[in-house]
Amino acid sequence: LPRVGVGAPVLPAHAILPATILELASANFRVIGFDQLSQEDFDTNETVDGYHVASSEWRTRRVALGACDAFVSHSWRDPSGPKFAQLRAFADAFQTKYDRTPLLWIDKFSINQSNITEGLAALPVNLAGCGRLLCLLGPTYLERIWCLLELHTFSLMGGDAHTLTVL
């Protein structure tokens, strides 16, 4: 955002009000169970009409904020095989501990990619609606601005080591 004076951000005229962001994020908070995913889902980030081709209603579902187990942060430029293996390791440990598959917030399944303005505005709410931040650290993760933005948002919101998993 452009800045005026001593570091104060200037919001564009079309800025979304905080109450509207909370309302939009709450109404559109979607998760996918790990058991509904495959490695092929991570081969590409391509979407159709803003949503992932395979993310039909039976694969994702709306849930209340707080009902998501992990916000998955990853780079689409990283190879899908190792990334999916990391996610499977997390899901297997979760399944062993809680006797159920984890519910995950994953960008291309959970937000409408054709309306990035609302998606970006809702990022803090989406992140807060998840029990933890799960970073799938690959070769390009720290080079990707979206990944860094997610980490920065997590930090600004008071996230700590107890709710952060890096694989």
Q: Is 28 exposed, middle or buried (0-12, 13-18, 19+ CB in 10 A)?
A: middle
More confident residue, 110 or 86: 86
Average pLDDT over residues 79-98: 97
* Cα–Cα distances in angstroms (integers) from residue 22 to residues 42, 64, 65, 159, in the given order: 28, 12, 10, 19
Average pLDDT over residues 94-123: 86
Residues 6+ apart with CB under 8 A from 48: none
Triad 97, 100, 104: Cα angle to 5°? 100
pLDDT band at 5 (very low <50, low <70, confident <90, very high): very low
Weakest mean pLDDT among 18-22, 96-100, 138-142? 18-22
Percent of the chain at pLDDT exceeding 90: 50
Average pLDDT over residues 32-56: 73
In this prediction the pTM is: 0.81
Indicate whether 46 pLDDT > 70: no
The phi and psi torsions of 128 (rounded to 5 degrees) equal -70, -25
Indicate whether 57 pLDDT > 70: no
Indicate whether 38 pLDDT > 70: yes
The phi and psi torsions of 8 (rounded to 5 degrees) equal -80, 125
Query: Looking at residue 3, what is its pLDDT?
Result: 36
Query: Looking at residue 124, what is its pLDDT?
Result: 87
